[in-house]
Protein backbone atom coordinates (compact mmCIF):
# COMPACT_ATOMS: atom_id res chain seq x y z
CA UNK A 1 0.00 0.00 0.00
CA UNK A 2 1.37 3.39 -0.96
CA UNK A 3 1.35 6.35 1.37
CA UNK A 4 0.24 9.57 -0.31
CA UNK A 5 2.15 11.81 2.12
CA UNK A 6 5.57 10.61 0.97
CA UNK A 7 7.13 12.61 -1.87
CA UNK A 8 7.45 10.57 -5.04
CA UNK A 9 9.93 11.25 -7.81
CA UNK A 10 9.35 10.43 -11.45
CA UNK A 11 8.62 6.81 -12.28
CA UNK A 12 11.25 4.56 -13.82
CA UNK A 13 9.31 4.66 -17.10
CA UNK A 14 9.27 8.48 -17.18
CA UNK A 15 13.02 8.58 -16.46
CA UNK A 16 13.73 5.94 -19.11
CA UNK A 17 11.73 7.74 -21.80
CA UNK A 18 13.39 11.04 -20.86
CA UNK A 19 16.80 9.44 -21.32
CA UNK A 20 15.74 7.95 -24.67
CA UNK A 21 14.55 11.38 -25.86
CA UNK A 22 17.86 12.90 -24.73
CA UNK A 23 19.83 10.30 -26.70
CA UNK A 24 17.73 10.75 -29.84
CA UNK A 25 17.97 14.55 -29.74
CA UNK A 26 21.73 14.36 -29.12
CA UNK A 27 22.14 12.06 -32.10
CA UNK A 28 20.01 14.27 -34.38
CA UNK A 29 21.96 17.39 -33.41
CA UNK A 30 25.35 15.68 -33.56
CA UNK A 31 24.72 14.27 -37.04
CA UNK A 32 23.50 17.64 -38.33
CA UNK A 33 20.08 16.31 -39.39
CA UNK A 34 18.50 19.70 -38.68
CA UNK A 35 19.13 21.99 -41.62
CA UNK A 36 19.77 25.18 -39.70
CA UNK A 37 22.84 27.41 -40.06
CA UNK A 38 23.05 28.22 -36.34
CA UNK A 39 22.79 24.57 -35.27
CA UNK A 40 25.26 23.54 -37.99
CA UNK A 41 27.92 25.87 -36.61
CA UNK A 42 27.26 25.41 -32.86
CA UNK A 43 27.71 21.99 -31.27
CA UNK A 44 24.93 21.54 -28.71
CA UNK A 45 24.90 19.29 -25.66
CA UNK A 46 21.52 17.96 -24.51
CA UNK A 47 22.19 17.75 -20.79
CA UNK A 48 18.81 16.58 -19.49
CA UNK A 49 15.26 15.84 -20.56
CA UNK A 50 12.45 15.95 -18.01
CA UNK A 51 9.27 14.23 -19.11
CA UNK A 52 5.82 14.95 -17.71
CA UNK A 53 4.16 11.94 -16.01
CA UNK A 54 1.87 11.42 -19.03
CA UNK A 55 4.88 11.59 -21.41
CA UNK A 56 3.21 14.29 -23.51
CA UNK A 57 5.62 17.10 -22.58
CA UNK A 58 9.40 17.14 -22.48
CA UNK A 59 11.51 19.94 -21.09
CA UNK A 60 14.87 19.75 -22.85
CA UNK A 61 17.87 21.39 -21.19
CA UNK A 62 20.65 22.26 -23.62
CA UNK A 63 24.04 23.93 -23.49
CA UNK A 64 25.97 25.10 -26.56
CA UNK A 65 29.60 24.04 -26.50
CA UNK A 66 31.61 26.64 -24.59
CA UNK A 67 28.33 28.45 -23.84
CA UNK A 68 28.67 30.53 -27.00
CA UNK A 69 25.62 32.20 -28.59
CA UNK A 70 23.21 30.47 -26.22
CA UNK A 71 20.24 32.67 -27.13
CA UNK A 72 20.71 32.07 -30.87
CA UNK A 73 20.97 28.32 -30.34
CA UNK A 74 17.81 28.20 -28.19
CA UNK A 75 15.99 30.28 -30.82
CA UNK A 76 17.13 27.89 -33.58
CA UNK A 77 15.99 24.86 -31.59
CA UNK A 78 12.61 26.45 -30.96
CA UNK A 79 12.28 27.28 -34.67
CA UNK A 80 12.91 23.61 -35.51
CA UNK A 81 10.77 22.14 -32.72
CA UNK A 82 8.15 20.59 -35.05
CA UNK A 83 10.80 18.68 -37.00
CA UNK A 84 12.53 17.53 -33.80
CA UNK A 85 9.21 16.40 -32.26
CA UNK A 86 8.39 14.31 -35.35
CA UNK A 87 11.85 12.74 -35.38
CA UNK A 88 11.74 11.88 -31.68
CA UNK A 89 8.25 10.36 -31.95
CA UNK A 90 9.29 8.35 -35.02
CA UNK A 91 12.55 7.02 -33.53
CA UNK A 92 11.15 6.15 -30.10
CA UNK A 93 7.75 5.03 -31.41
CA UNK A 94 5.75 6.86 -28.80
CA UNK A 95 1.96 6.87 -28.83
CA UNK A 96 1.99 10.67 -28.82
CA UNK A 97 4.68 13.03 -30.06
CA UNK A 98 5.88 14.73 -26.89
CA UNK A 99 5.80 18.52 -27.06
CA UNK A 100 9.39 19.70 -26.70
CA UNK A 101 10.30 22.82 -24.76
CA UNK A 102 13.93 23.95 -25.03
CA UNK A 103 15.57 25.76 -22.12
CA UNK A 104 19.19 26.70 -21.45
CA UNK A 105 20.84 24.54 -18.81
CA UNK A 106 21.81 26.91 -16.02
CA UNK A 107 23.33 24.23 -13.76
CA UNK A 108 26.83 24.78 -15.17
CA UNK A 109 26.58 28.51 -14.51
CA UNK A 110 25.31 27.86 -10.97
CA UNK A 111 28.15 25.40 -10.32
CA UNK A 112 30.72 27.93 -11.56
CA UNK A 113 29.18 30.61 -9.36
CA UNK A 114 29.30 28.35 -6.28
CA UNK A 115 32.88 27.35 -7.09
CA UNK A 116 33.86 31.02 -7.37
CA UNK A 117 32.20 31.77 -4.03
CA UNK A 118 34.05 28.89 -2.37
CA UNK A 119 37.35 30.21 -3.71
CA UNK A 120 36.72 33.69 -2.29
CA UNK A 121 39.45 34.50 0.29
CA UNK A 122 36.89 35.42 2.97
CA UNK A 123 35.03 32.13 2.55
CA UNK A 124 38.29 30.14 2.49
CA UNK A 125 39.33 31.80 5.75
CA UNK A 126 35.99 30.89 7.36
CA UNK A 127 36.18 27.32 6.09
CA UNK A 128 39.72 26.89 7.39
CA UNK A 129 38.84 28.31 10.81
CA UNK A 130 35.84 25.92 10.95
CA UNK A 131 38.11 22.91 10.36
CA UNK A 132 40.47 23.97 13.16
CA UNK A 133 37.65 24.20 15.71
CA UNK A 134 36.47 20.64 14.91
CA UNK A 135 39.80 19.09 15.97
Class in CATH terms, 12-104: alpha beta
Average pLDDT value for residue range 93-114: 78
What is the distance between the alpha carbons of residues 68 and 135, in angstroms, rounded to a whole number? Answer: 46
**Per-domain boundaries in the chain:** 12-104, 106-135
Amino acid 20: pLDDT: 95
pLDDT in tens, 64-95: 887 778 899 999 999 999 999 999 999 998 77
Amino acid 1: pLDDT: 45
**Over 60: is that where the pLDDT of 6 sits?**
no
pLDDT in tens, 19-70: 999 999 999 999 988 889 999 888 999 999 999 999 999 999 999 887 778 8
Q: Does 14 or 129 have the greater pLDDT score?
A: 14
Contact 43, 62 (CB under 8 A): no
Amino acid 115: pLDDT: 64
DSSP 70-114: HHHHHHHHHHTHHHHHHHHHHHHT-SS-PEEEEEE--HHHHHHHH
Amino acid 25: pLDDT: 95
Contact 74, 65 (CB under 8 A): no
Amino acid sequence: MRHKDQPQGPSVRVLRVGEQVRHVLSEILQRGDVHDDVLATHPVSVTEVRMSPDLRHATVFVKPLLGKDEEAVIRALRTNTAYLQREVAHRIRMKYAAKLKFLPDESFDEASHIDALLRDPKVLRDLESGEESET
